[in-house]
């Protein structure tokens, strides 16, 4: 049996291009099917690790961080909505951006104690809840709603949140990825060696998967 390719998807929950990148990668995975089996693991990256509990208005935040105008932000958001729609992902109104550390702790828990499929389901729930519904992804209540949507153990998830479990592991993983040269997301790392940066079209991911799998087989 062919050993699955290992894919690390380094991303943040509030990153719209990460939602696009995942939707695009999943199109590629569907295209290659059983010919290129993979194990997909989500790795933590915080765009704004110092973000306060109250979050920030998204337009003001982006304008200050990137030095762009509200008009440019509106244009970028329209382009993002179009890219998402083409991939079957719906971007709704998002007025604020939030701290995502607790979300990453939950994702770590799902990956370590549950399964890659469970982690993937939780990732989908988190992305939909923030990008599709504009909800406060730092809120305990909202995070627990995502746990329910993903079909995970709510009692265990509540314990993870309340006891700050996996905080050290998430911080260490974030440092490790940054030290390896990841400073923007999404970053798709295949077999720990091949990096694809940004929300690429499905055909880019598909070609890379096929070429890497063929090279390993050869």
pTM over 0.85: yes
CATH number for the segment(s) 5-205: 3.40.30.10
pLDDT in tens, 124-133: 999 999 999 9
Domain layout of the chain by residue ranges: 5-205
96 phi and psi angles, rounded to 5 deg: -135, 160
Question: Please, are residues 106 and 122 in contact by the beta-carbon 8 Å criterion?
Answer: yes
If we measure between CA atoms, which residue out of 96, 93, 92 comes closest to residue 57? 96
If pLDDT is split at 50, 70 and 90, which confidence band does 216 have? confident
Could you report the per-residue pLDDT of 86-124, keeping only the tens digit for each?
999 999 999 999 999 999 999 999 999 999 999 999 999
């Amino acid at each position: 049996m062919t050993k699955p390719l290992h894919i690390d998807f380094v991303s943040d929950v509030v990153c719209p291009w990460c939602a696009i990148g995942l939707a695009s990668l999943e199109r590629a995975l569907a295209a290659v099917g059983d010919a290129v089996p993979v194990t997909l693991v989500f790795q933590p990256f915080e765009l704004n690790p110092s973000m306060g509990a109250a979050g920030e208005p998204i337009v003001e935040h982006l304008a200050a961080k990137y030095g762009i105008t509200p008009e440019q932000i509106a244009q970028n958001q329209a382009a993002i909505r179009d890219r998402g729609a083409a991939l079957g992902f719906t971007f709704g109104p998002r007025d604020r951006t939030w701290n995502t550390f607790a979300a990453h702790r939950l994702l770590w828990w799902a990956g370590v104690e549950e399964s890659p499929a469970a982690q993937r389901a939780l990732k989908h729930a988190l992305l939909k809840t923030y990008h599709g519904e504009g909800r406060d992804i730092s809120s305990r209540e909202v995070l627990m709603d995502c746990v329910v949507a993903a079909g995970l153990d709510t009692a265990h998830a509540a314990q993870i949140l309340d006891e700050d479990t996996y905080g050290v592991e998430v911080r260490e993983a974030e440092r490790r990825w940054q030290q390896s040269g990841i400073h923007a997301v999404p970053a798709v790392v295949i077999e720990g060696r091949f990096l694809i940066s940004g929300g690429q079209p499905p055909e880019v991911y598909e070609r890379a998967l096929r070429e890497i799998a063929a090279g390993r087989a050869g």
